[in-house]
Amino acid sequence: MPKKNDSQVILTRSGHKKLVEELTHLKTAGRQEVARQLEVARGFGDLSENAEYAAAKDEQSKVESRILELETMLGNVTVVDEEKLDTSRVAIGLTVQLEDLDSAGKVHTYSLVGSEELSSLGVSQSGIQRISQKSPVGQAILGHSVGDEVSVTIPRGTRKLRILSIMREK
Q: State which amino acid sits at residue 166.
A: I
d(CA 34, CA 13) in angstroms, rounded, equals 30
Residues in the chain: 170
**What is the model's pTM?**
0.74
Give the 3-state DSSP-derived string for 23-73, with helices as H, strands as E and coil as C.
Answer: HHHHHHHHHHHHHHHHHHHHCCCCHHHCHHHHHHHHHHHHHHHHHHHHHHH
What pLDDT digit, counting tens, does each position of 87-142 carry?
Answer: 999 999 999 999 999 888 799 999 999 888 765 555 555 678 889 888 999 999 99
Identify which of 147, 116, 148, 109 has the alpha carbon closest to the alpha carbon of residue 130.
109
